[in-house]
Structure formats: structure tokens, C-alpha cells
Structure 1
Amino acid sequence: MNSTMLQYSAQENMEAFVRNFIFVLFGIIINSINGVFVLTFFRSSIFYNDPRYILYIHLVINDMLMVFFSVTLSVMACAWPKVPFPFCVTLLIITATTHKNTPLTLAGMAVERYIAICKPLHHHQICTVRRTYILISLIWGVSVLPGLTDLIVIVIVCPLSVFTTGTLCSSTNVYNTPYHEELSKVMNGLYSSIVRVILVFTYCQVLVAARRASADKSSAKKAQSTILLHGAQLLLSMLSYITAVIDKDFCSTFTR
């Protein structure tokens, strides 16, 4: 009996090691590729003086942070089962913030393209470098609100002694109250709805303006391809909102 349990435990440890090794490897590859884009951006003043490229590189850097903290949490779940609660909550807030930054940044890029194509005479007045950095600051400020709200719920619902304990650092384990579940549904629905409205409005306007202004079909087709690419990026970002639901369903399935 003991030998069977040891074999099963060893197999679980090996599977966890392989899984985390793959996560770390893919994280290094993705961040290395994104790092090349970041270096290219800062080597040319043409890029960091253009609001369009500033928003794009913010998206890239944000993705690098999201990959880094997501991989870190995955490794910590296996290697460090008793993470200090304050440190764990801090990591979860940062990860959640970077996750919500992506659709909001894509929405900002959509608005910038809308102004550039539909209001070209006012583009340089509205979309300045200073205002672009203000927009990025607002994106981070709005994105951090759900994480801070989750922390406030913990402070209200749970005893303060929980902050002196260690815990398995995952969102499903830390944010496990019914209030967090309802709050997550409301926040995700609110964020996704706002971004989808912005996406549909701006991109439809851009498509119409591009087709009217283009003298040849190739320009309109190029604009349409760019719009479809951003739409696909946003769709992939929105699909990540169901991760927590899937994770919870799988956990409940395997614990029956």
C-alpha cells in the first residue's frame, strides 16, 4: 500500500515538474520574442513619438508582465504550497491587473485608429504623446480596481488573522467566497461589454471611412485586414475571462 502511494506521489511530482517546465520554457520563448520588439521600439525615436506605437509597445510589455507573473504563480503552486498571504494577494492583484489591461489597451488602439481615419485633421491635436501616457495611466488605474475590490472583500469577510497565514497561491483558493464569485461575474461582464461596444463602434466606423476614402480596393482591404487582426486579438483576450469558470468546473469534477 505504501509503495503504491509513493509511486503515485512520484508520478504526480514528475507530471507537475514536466508541466511547469513546459510553462517556463514557453514563457521564456514568448518574453524573448516580445523583448526583441521592445528593444526595437526604444532604438528609434519614430516609434516612441507615435501614439499608435506607444500603445502597441504598452500592449507588448503588459503581455510580458502577464506571462511572467502567470508562470510564477503556476510554479509557486507546486513548489511553494504555503505562500505568505499578503505576498500572494499582491501577486494576484498584479496578475489580474495585467490581464485586464489587454482588452482595455486594444480598445484604446481602436479609438486611436478611429480618430486617425475618421478625423484625420484632428488626430495630431487629440492623440499626442502626453495624452497617450495619460491614457495608459488610466488603463492601469481602471484595471487595478477589480483586484483591489477583491482585497477589500477579504478584509471585510475574513478575519484579519488570515494575513498572517500561508496559503496555496491561486485565485480560486484565495478568492473563494460567494461574494468573490458574484463580483467576478459582474466585473468581467462589465469590462467585456464596454470593450465590445467600443470595438464594434470604432471598427465599423473605420471600415466605412476606409472604403469611402480609398481610391483603390487594396487600401480598403489592408485596412479591413488590420481591423480583423485587432478583432481576433480582442476575441482571444475575452476568451481568457472564462478561465476561472473552467478551472472551477474542473476542480469540482475531480473532487467528486
Structure 2
Amino acid sequence: MSYANQSQTLNITTEQQYMGLLERVLLSTLIGMPCCVFLFINAIMLFTLRSKAVFCETSRYILLYNLLFADTVMLGLSQLLYILSACRIFPTYPVCGVLTMLASLTNQISSLTLVVMCLERYVAVCYPLRHATIITVRNTAVAIIVVWAFSSLNVLIRVLLLLNFPFDQLQSLQMTDVCSDIAMLLGPMSDIYDKAYTGFVFVSAGVTVTCSYIGVMVAARSASTDKASARKARNTLLLHLIQLGLTLLSTMHGPIIVSLSTTLQRLLILRIKSVLYVFIYILPRSLSSLIYGLRDQTIRPVLMYYLCCGLSHLSKG
């Protein structure tokens, strides 16, 4: 992040003192409640995907578990960072670095897992006879390992770039700004790398999912293709394309806020920032449970059973 952008972000933070206490409490409540609800649903969904052997032995459900795990961790970290920002709690650089790096790791894992899931649906529709030999549990495990390794490599490079920043020249490691991924872009190289990596992932993932969707649409018109299966896969891919777009937009959250800070009033930016947080952080991380929990005939009855049991336990407690 450039030092000019740092000062703009700092100005946004200091303006937060003009937001009334009632408004901050109201915004935090309105945002925190749905976040907690979806964290609960995701936790039940994760438990559901480990409750039966069919979920542990089917590639698409294994990928779904990995996606939900990354989304749940990302959702929890995002809410923690939002609470710190709303309460104007400024952690130290090491603490903020750990939180933002974990958030970046899970965000990338979520995006890349969505791409793999779209490719799995593409193979299932376009190559149904070879699906069982291509999409095996072993190959799925390898794909997940590659996703985690690639995402971890990105975090490692960002950490190495941070090491070049002269922390020893700072009077204190205590931050004077809210903890965010923007605040941790402390040098020009970090800023350049972040933009390059974000652009690469955004374009490559978007092209892959779009091509998969087009391939399924073309296959759906073929006489040899199961029309019902192709239509369901097409709808799933379309939902994943929307989900991926919202997820990838979260990587553009910082630059969007910085750009708006040059033209809009700071208090208005804070409100826009809260709205964007709901639509590009909370919503994408809740779509997976809705897409599969409501549409998948295998998951839905098991999920509803555990969800109703969980709600009954909470009401008794």
C-alpha cells in the first residue's frame, strides 16, 4: 500500500469518532446477527458432511466441506476484524498480521475451491462416462492439497515482503489505524504484488468458471446428455459464478474504499463500507450452505434434522 493510501485510510478511521454511538451499535447489531446465524448454519453443515459415509466418500461433498471450512473461518475472522474496527480497538502489527494473513489464506482457498467444484460439475456433465475415473477421492485430495499449497505460498510471499518494512524504526508496534488487509500493505512492493496477484486470480478464476458454465450449456443441448442433470449443473454453476464474483470482490474491497475516499464524505464512506461488508463478505460465505443445504436432496434431510436438533437444544438452554 502506498503511503498516500495509508494517510487516506487513517483519515477514514479518525472520522469514525463522528459516527454516533447509537448508530455504531445499531450497525454492529444488524451486521453481527446474520453473521452469527450463518456461522451456526455453517457449523451444522460441516457436522452434517461428516455424519455419513456417503459425504466422506464422494468428491463433490469433500470439496464442499473444504469450501465450507474456509468460508466459516473467513466469516469468523471477518466478524472479529469488524468488531475491532467498530470498537476502535487497534492491535499491534504482529497480531493484525496474523489475523489478516489467515483471512487472506481462507479467502483464497474459498475462491480456488469454487473453481475446482465448477470443474467437477463440468466433467460430470460433459464427460459422464469418464467422471468416475477422473474425479476420484484421491484426485480430489490432491486438488485440495494444491489449493492449500498455492494459497499458503501467496501468504508466505506476503510475509516475506512485510519483513522488508523497517519495523525497528517505528516508535511502537502498536497500530494507529484499524486492522485490515489494507493496513498491512506497508510498502510499495507489497502493494504491487497484492494488485498483481488479485488480478491474476480474479481473471483466471472468472474465465475458468465462465468457460465451465458455457461448456455445460452447450452440453445441455446435446441429445445424449441427461437434460435434468445438465440443467441442475448449469444452475449450480451459475450460482457458483455469482458466489465467486462476490468472493473475488472482497479482494477489491480495500481499493474501492480508498478510491471512494477521494470524492465522498468520510462518514458516508463508513456507511458504504458496512454495506459492502455484508454483500461481499457475509453473503458469499453463506451461499454454499443455502445452495447445497436447500437444493441437494442427499444433504437437505440430514441437515434439517441436525439443524432442528441444534435449535431445540439452544431453546432449551
Do the two structures share a fold, i.e. TM-score over 0.5? yes
Q: Structure 2 matches for 1:168-247, cutoff 5 A?
A: 168-214=178-224, 217-247=227-257
- Aligned equivalents of 2:77 and 2:171: distance in 1? 21
Structure 2 unmatched runs, 5+: 1-15, 267-317
Aligned residue type for 2:94: P
Q: Bigger CA drift: 194-203 or 163-172? A: 163-172
- Aligned equivalents of 1:236 and 1:45: distance in 2? 32
How far is the alpha carbon of 1:238 from its aligned partner? 2.6
Which residue of the partner structure matches residue 29 of structure 1? Answer: 37
TM-score, normalised to structure 1's length?
0.84
Aligned residue type for 2:107: H
How far is the alpha carbon of 1:209 from its aligned partner? 2.5
How far is the alpha carbon of 1:10 from its aligned partner? 8.5
Q: Bigger CA drift: 110-119 or 158-167? A: 158-167
Aligned residue type for 2:30: I
Which residue of the partner structure matches residue 158 of structure 1? Answer: 166
- Aligned equivalents of 1:191 and 1:216: distance in 2? 32
Q: Structure 2 matches for 1:107-122, cutoff 5 A?
A: 107-122=115-130
Q: Match of 1:121, SS?
A: coil
Flag the structure with more relative contact order, 1 or 2, with Cα contacts below 8 A and sequence separation at least 6.
Answer: 2
**Contact 2:84–2:90 (Cα < 8 Å) also in 1:** no
**Contact 1:84–1:163 (Cα < 8 Å) also in 2:** no
Identity of aligned residues (%): 28
**Contact 1:172–1:248 (Cα < 8 Å) also in 2:** no
- Aligned equivalents of 2:40 and 2:113: distance in 1? 21
- Aligned equivalents of 2:207 and 2:157: distance in 1? 24
TM-score, normalised to structure 2's length?
0.69
- Aligned equivalents of 1:201 and 1:68: distance in 2? 32
**Contact 1:88–1:169 (Cα < 8 Å) also in 2:** yes
How far is the alpha carbon of 1:190 from its aligned partner? 0.4
- Aligned equivalents of 1:149 and 1:254: distance in 2? 35
How far is the alpha carbon of 1:45 from its aligned partner? 1.1
- Aligned equivalents of 1:155 and 1:254: distance in 2? 35
- Tell me which protein shows more helix as a share of its residues: 1
**Contact 2:121–2:233 (Cα < 8 Å) also in 1:** no
**Contact 2:101–2:155 (Cα < 8 Å) also in 1:** yes
How many residue pairs are counted as aligned between the two chains?
248
- Aligned equivalents of 1:47 and 1:130: distance in 2? 15
Distance 1:177 1:18, change over 3 A: farther
Q: After superposition, give the CA deviation of every residue in 1:142-177 in whole Å (9 maximum; x if it has no partner).
A: 123333322222211333465961224222222143
Stretches of 4+ moved more than 6 A in 1?
none
**Contact 1:85–1:162 (Cα < 8 Å) also in 2:** no
Is the aligned partner of 1:144 residue 2:129? no
**Contact 2:125–2:229 (Cα < 8 Å) also in 1:** no
Q: Structure 2 matches for 1:60-139, cutoff 5 A?
A: 60-79=68-87, 81-139=89-147
**Contact 1:69–1:95 (Cα < 8 Å) also in 2:** yes
How far is the alpha carbon of 1:245 from its aligned partner? 1.2
Which residue of the partner structure matches residue 307 of structure 2? Answer: none
How far is the alpha carbon of 1:105 from its aligned partner? 0.8
